[in-house]
Amino acid sequence: MHPDKLAALLLATADAVAAALADDQRRRPSDQRVKGERPGQYRIDLVADEAALKVLRAAGVGILSEESGLEDRGTGLVVVVDPVDGSTNASRGLPWYATSLCAVDEHGPVASLVRNLATGTTWVAARGAGATCDGRPAVPSGVTDPAQAVVVLNGYPPQHLGWRQYRALGATALDLCAVADGRVDATVDCTTDALGPWDYLGAMLVLSEAGCVVEDLHGRGLVDVRHDARRTPVSAATPELLGALRGALLAARD
């Protein structure tokens, strides 16, 4: 698929999700905390997934969705979808939840889009073409020293890892994108293989195209489009900061 058409497809998918959720909020405002079919799932996850699938299926691409699994159409292109990343935040009206989309071909992530569904802030990246936030280049902080860093945690480590301050915000895709545009300096996943590819792939391309670094804590490849794949990503504005935080977490777990 031509890069322009692929970018348009991701944008159309995000727009469809946002419209479906806005309509659902108008029609069923009291149902935002209704649970879905599995632990951690909300009804709004399914509403968003249905909207995303309608657009992507019409385009004939493969799909890997957190909510509905893998649909491989043999095209060599799979769009990895988290319809609502941070759905607990969404259910409680906390404005930190997103749709995350990443198109993956045989060479890895090729295009991605992450949109904060509460604010509309949108990060876009294309392989070899850079990353933007609301149309402006994403520029990381450049921080190298944990003692100067504001770090976002998923879970909590066994001990302090040397950061200046930390936050726990609850939506991995947005947490990672916040590193890419310098709002925070790093993210550390303190769980053990709890995150699927839909949680981080969209933001991973944003990070790499912005000049940041993101790795699995244990050195495994992050690009895996199986529904049961799980990883422990750590990201930072600079290699020095990532190395220090990753080393501190590994040492704390020994």
For the chain, which residues make up each domain, given as ranges? 3-137, 146-253
Chain segment 151-210, per-residue pLDDT in tens: 999 999 999 999 999 999 999 999 999 999 999 999 999 999 999 999 999 999 999 999
Q: 3-137 falls under which CATH superfamily?
A: Fructose-1,6-Bisphosphatase, subunit A, domain 1 (3.30.540.10)
Chain segment 54-97, per-residue pLDDT in tens: 999 999 999 999 999 999 999 999 999 999 999 999 989 999 99
Q: 35 pLDDT exceeds 80? A: no
146-253 under CATH 3.40.640.10, yes or no: no
Q: Could you tell me the pLDDT band of residue 3, with boundaries at 50, 70 and 90?
A: confident
3 state SS of 114: strand
DSSP 181: T
Cα 144 from Cα 50, distance rounded (Å): 42
Cα 163 from Cα 165, distance rounded (Å): 5
Q: In terms of Cα–Cα distance, which of 148, 242, 123, 231 is closest to 186?
A: 242
Is-contact 52 44, C-beta < 8 A? no
- The pLDDT score that the predictor gives to residue 31 is 64
Q: What is the CA radius of gyration of the chain?
A: 17
Residue type, 146: P
Q: 28 pLDDT exceeds 80? A: no
Is-contact 42 81, C-beta < 8 A? no
Rounded mean pLDDT of 124-134? 98
Domains 3-137 and 146-253 share a fold: no
Is-contact 201 222, C-beta < 8 A? yes
Rounded mean pLDDT of 128-132? 97
Give me 30's structure tokens.
């009291």
Rounded mean pLDDT of 105-127? 97
